[in-house]
Amino acid sequence: MKFLPAAISAGSLVLAAALTGCTPAADVEAAPDAANPDCATVMVSMPENLAGADQRETTSQGTSAWGSPAEIIVRCGVPVPGPTTDACATVNGVDWVLREEGSLWTATTYGRDPAVEVLFDTEKVASSTVLVELQNAVSRIEQTRECVATSDVELPG
């Protein structure tokens, strides 16, 4: 009877190790300004489920991932985009600069410092779903500029 508590403890440790080792952390490179305190506010506000995929651990500060393998990756603290001719869309009050390479999209918040970047494959997740569901987290960074149409820009001359 003296060995029963030790056996239970050892069994519990094996079970705990097995449960934590089910999904390895996603290897995501931190953005240059990932240590910005505003990134911490954004990251703790990220949804546990995004576009039907479960959130998982990542290897870097200011990052998050969903799905296994990762279908959606978020990095806070990426370089803030300046004026651009890239597509810009406003989704639930958040402006996003959008870049496409086939079905792979990169959406970067516009007018917010630090900027938040989202990488995803539109063949696996809908862009409208991802950007809508991230609104609550990324809107915690104050917006200081907004997207404008090229027809709204006054040219000198």
Query: Which pLDDT value is given to residue 22?
Result: 59
Domain extent for 118: 25-151
Q: What is the mean pLDDT of the chain?
A: 85
4 inside domain: no
Query: Which pLDDT value is given to residue 128?
Result: 81
Taking each continuous run of H as one helix and of E as one strand, the counts in the chain are 4, 8
Radius of gyration of the chain (CA): 20
Query: Which pLDDT value is given to residue 21?
Result: 47
DSSP output for 65-130: EETTTTSEEEEEEEPPP-S-SSEEEEETTEEEEEEEETTEEEEEESSBSSEEEEEEETTTS-HHHH
Query: Which pLDDT value is given to residue 7?
Result: 36
144 inside domain: yes
146 inside domain: yes
Mean of the pLDDT values across residues 50-77? 96
62 in helix, strand or coil? coil
11 inside domain: no
Q: Say if CB 78 and CB 60 are below 8 A apart.
A: no
Q: Which of 16-25, 82-91, 118-127, 137-146 has the lowest mean pLDDT?
A: 16-25
Residue 10 has pLDDT above 80, yes or no: no
Residue 12 has pLDDT above 50, yes or no: no
Mean of the pLDDT values across residues 48-65? 97
Distance CA 44, CA 98 (A): 24
Please give the single-letter amino acid code of residue 80: V
32 inside domain: yes
90 inside domain: yes
116 inside domain: yes
Query: Which pLDDT value is given to residue 16?
Result: 31
87 inside domain: yes
Q: Say if CB 105 and CB 96 are below 8 A apart.
A: no
Please give the single-letter amino acid code of residue 153: V
Single pTM value for the model: 0.81
Give the count of domains, the chain.
1
